[in-house]
């Protein structure tokens, strides 16, 4: 990639994310994901010193469905990944792809320097929008 075609994460990311409380049940989280057509949920921090959590559909499939647990009886904090690896909006997409590969990620939240979640990015956006 030349400097002329420099593409940053902010140029390809999905804006906004659904943020929920960790005490939300998986059943309620699934309903929200269905109505919002969401791929992931960000779990809010409990305090300023806490970290964000992340729940993907694959987490629900592996930790609730495959484990034969009732979604109404499991809270998202029990199945979330925390802390999450995040990317900065100014990161070049090629470095983001390298980070995904190195750590086995499929998607990550985009968090700015003020610790605000701006959205998320996945391989799909990196490839389809970053190389277009």
Predicted local confidence at residue 16, as pLDDT: 79
Q: Is the pTM higher than 0.75?
A: yes
Distance of CA 22 to the CA centre of its chain: 15
Per-residue pLDDT of the chain (132 residues; tens, 9 = 90+): 445 479 999 999 999 789 999 999 999 999 999 999 998 999 999 999 999 999 999 999 999 999 999 999 999 999 999 999 999 999 999 999 999 999 999 999 999 999 999 999 999 999 988 886
Predicted local confidence at residue 55, as pLDDT: 96
Q: Which residues contact 68 (CB under 8 A, 6 or more apart)?
A: none
Whole-number Å distance between alpha carbons of 48 and 12 = 28
| Structural domains of the chain, ranges and CATH numbers in brackets | 3-128 (3.10.580.10)
Backbone φ and ψ of 34, nearest 5°: -65, -50
Whole-number Å distance between alpha carbons of 47 and 132 = 40
Predicted local confidence at residue 131, as pLDDT: 81
Predicted local confidence at residue 116, as pLDDT: 94
Dihedral angle, C-alpha 25, 85, 101, 34, nearest 10 ° = 30
């Amino acid at each position: 990639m030349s400097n002329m075609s420099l593409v940053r994460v902010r140029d390809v990311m999905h804006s906004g994310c659904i943020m929920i409380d960790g005490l939300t049940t998986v059943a309620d989280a699934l309903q929200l994901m269905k109505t919002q057509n969401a791929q992931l949920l960000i779990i809010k921090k409990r305090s300023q010193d806490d970290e964000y959590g992340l729940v993907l559909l694959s987490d629900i499939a592996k930790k609730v469905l495959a484990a034969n647990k009732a979604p109404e009886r499991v809270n998202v904090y029990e199945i979330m990944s925390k802390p999450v690896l995040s990317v900065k909006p100014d990161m070049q997409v090629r470095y983001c792809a390298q980070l995904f590969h190195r750590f086995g990620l499929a998607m990550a939240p985009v968090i700015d320097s003020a610790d605000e979640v701006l959205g998320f990015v996945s391989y799909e956006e990196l490839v389809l929008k970053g190389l277009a």
